[in-house]
Structure 1
Amino acid sequence: MNTRDINRIPKLILLLERVWLKQSDSRFFQLIDGLEKAFVENGGSTISKKVTFVITTDVEQEGTLLDSFNVEDDEFIQFLERYVVEDASETESIRMQELLLLFKLLWSSQPDTRFFQLIDNLKHRYAANDSAIISRRYKYRMSDGFEQPGTALDAYYVEDTNFIEFLKTRL
């Protein structure tokens, strides 16, 4: 039994499309990454963790890791509604529409999954088959000094055409 309203899915997809039309040169994961950062900057409930990333050359670099996995969709929808400007570009992109349609179909088949949960799950599945997603190791220092190791997936450079083909295999 579904506990979340399935009608939120097309609403969120429509808002994503409106935002993406204004940034049509962005790839899907670039769009999501930018929206997640803007969401945090505008007071969204994403968890920010100060971490030390361990680059492949074993060089450490301080940074911030955003964790939106538990953000409720209603909160993100409210943010997108404020973020969207109605006079968005009328430019239509087949790539955007195809990707968003596939994403909507996939999400509709698992409506209890929150948006950022689905994004995170898709990144992990895609990373298993394509090296375009960069796995970054990090260490998170807890308040008591304990270091918690982890891995973050960076999908910023994934080409939309490749992701579209991947989504087709998930349906």
Structure 2
Amino acid sequence: MDTAQWAQLARQEGDPNPIFEGCALAPALAQFDPEGSVKIATLHADGELVGLAPLRRASRYYGRTLPHWTIWLHDNAFVGAPLIAEGHEHAFWQALLGWCDTRAGFAPWLHCPALPHDGAPYRALCPIADHTRPAARVWEGERAMLASDRPPGEYFEQAMSAKKR
């Protein structure tokens, strides 16, 4: 894969996901998928990379034997939104779902874990799922996030005493 295009896509995406940027995903695949079962689904438009998601076939779904395709996340990943250049969300989902449909024998559905439902990828997926195929939200939850108006260094200095550092 062209790493320059991958980096460019990360700068163009509407909803950032550093988990799937090349600098994070490539080493994660090397560490957590040494057998190479994860495939990188891509969408190109006019010669440019405009969409990317790591996919794998899975035979189990929450302890049950239910073969499916899934957007791959390792245990330390917390956001499953594909990298999609702004304005290409609808085309990305159409292409990805179409690709999954052509390989539906083993895995007749796509699981999108940790896809934030306040972002453009989710908003683009909903009308496609609602009008052309059955779909459901399986689980919804919240995660804690550290947020501050201060710069990271200043926040760290205040949060940790010199003795603890």
Q: TM-score range by the shorter chain?
A: under 0.3
What's the TM-score, normalizing by structure 2? 0.26
Point out which structure has higher relative CO (alpha carbons under 8 A, 6+ apart).
1
Q: Which has the higher helix share?
A: 1
Larger gyration radius, structure 1 or structure 2 = 2
